[in-house]
Amino acid sequence: MHSLSQLKEYLPFLIPLFLIQLGLMIAALVHIFRHKNYRIGNRVLWVILAVALNTIGPVLYFTIGRGED
């Protein structure tokens, strides 16, 4: 199987992909836990979305869910 060499070929994709998704998730979680008020939804909902839906969850949180700053 050539999977190891294939994995190596895709590392330049996987590393930034992983880092950005992780970064967005952490940024969203930090913001969720530091604020009490959300425009839509509640804390539990946003934590679940931010963790379960990578990229989309944090993007939705920051664009629609984030309360007044």
Partner 1 sequence: MVIFMRGFLAFTKKEFLEQLRTYKWLIFLAVFFLFGLMSPLLAKLTPDILSSMDMGGIQLNLPEPTVMDAYSQYFKNMTQMGVVVVLLVFGSILSNELIKGTLVNILAKGMSRTAVLLSKYTAAVILWSAGFLLSAATNYGYTVYLFKNASVPNLMFSMFCLWLFGCFIIALILLSSVAAAGSFGGLILSAVTLIILLMVNIFPKAEKFNPVTLVSKNTALLNGTNKAGDLYLTVAMTTTLIAVCIITAVLLFKKKQI
Phi then psi dihedrals of residue 15, to 5 deg: -65, -55
User: 45 or 62, CB closer to partner 1?
Assistant: 62
Task: Compute the least distance from the CB of residue 58 to partner 1, in Å.
Answer: 7
- Residue 50 touching partner 1 (CB under 8 A): no
- Nearest in space to 53 (alpha carbons), one of 25, 23, 20: 25
Q: Is the CB of 16 or the CB of 48 nearer to partner 1? A: 16
- Whole-angstrom Cα distance, residue 64 to residue 18? 24
Residue length of the chain: 69
Summarize as ranges the residues that interact with partner 1 (CB under 8 A): 10, 12-13, 16-17, 20-21, 23-24, 27, 31, 39, 55, 58-60, 62-64, 66, 68-69
